[in-house]
Amino acid sequence: MDFSRTLGTDHSETIPRMPSWITAAPAETLEDIAFLSGASLNHLDLLMARDDVPVALIRTRLALQAAEASVKFSGRPERAGELRDAVHFLRPGDLPGPAGEVYLSWLRAVERPVSVKSLNRALPDVEAGRIADYLGAGQGAPVCRAARVLESAMMATGRQEGLALILVDAALAQALGFDYVTPLLAAGLKRADLRKRGDELRLACHRAVVASAVETARLAADLTRGAAQLRAMAPKLRAKGAGEAVGMFLIRDAVAAAELPLPPRAARRLCDRLVDLGAVRELTGRNTFRLYGV
């Protein structure tokens, strides 16, 4: 991988913070919260357009958060650690289990440009025509459009939260002109919000957007700093395949040593060295079956 475009000045410390008035301003009416959600989305849009921000990595981290929320809404106990394990330690022929399937669906939803075809890949049990119908159910401004899609999907699918949440974040991405699904609503909505309708649901969606946009801006700042440090370390790594391995860390929420394009022992050594250099973190706290990420 060519890092020549990214090894210059580290601009991560200059990433602007979300304006404090967005989080501090009291907003009880639909009009007020709609204004704040629009402002937070505009800030996030400008931030994600920066060359130094690792947007693919951010999307996969948000996909984990969205999957965790979806699993929680369904009443299952699995959380982020279990979801990572279910996906990253799959062997050929293994099944990831219900919670792992939810996580895989979110990962597939964010990894390709948003379209009916890509969403059908993430939701293979839903016909492409039905997906198009769901996405076409919303009209108007982006958050209002997403709220209508959510209401329609919840009613039509028998309240299948995981399916509805992927569709609502896809609808929001399309309405905002984003190339990829960037999960915001799934992690920001509360379980009770999914039963709301009309203005109450629109209000809940606006509030969820504000909360998620604020957290995503913080996440972007953290991951941009981490990605810059990892890129800076790349020229010091002499192992064959190290460049490709670094590229994987820059787009994936977590990576197991066995997934890297190196022999097993070399992959483990590379991961340990990156941890020692402070370029990646070990995410599990275990001595075996470890996962690494920025």
| Largest CA-CA distance found in the chain, in angstroms, rounded | 58
pLDDT at position 207: 96
Distances (CA, A) of 199 to 30, 31, 147, 274: 8, 11, 9, 49
- Summarised one tens digit per residue, pLDDT across range 219-230 is 999 999 999 999
Domain ranges of the chain: 26-224, 237-293
Lowest mean pLDDT among 58-67, 109-118, 159-168: 159-168
DSSP reduced 3-state for 280: coil
The pLDDT of residue 13 is 62
pLDDT per position as a tens digit, 112-155: 999 999 999 999 999 999 999 999 887 789 999 999 999 999 98
Q: What does the alpha-carbon distance between residue 176 and residue 174 come to, in Å, rounded to a whole number?
A: 5
Q: pLDDT per residue over 71-122, tens digit each?
A: 999 999 999 999 999 999 998 899 999 999 999 999 999 999 999 999 999 9
Classify residue 199 as exposed, middle or buried by CB count within 10 Å of its CB (0-12, 13-18, 19+): exposed
Percent of the chain exceeding pLDDT 70 equals 95
Encode pLDDT of 232-256 as tens digits. Answer: 999 989 888 999 999 999 999 999 9
Pick among 2.120.10, 1.10.10, 1.10.30, 1.10.150: CATH of 237-293: 1.10.10
Q: Is residue 204 within 8 Å of 79, Cβ to Cβ?
A: no
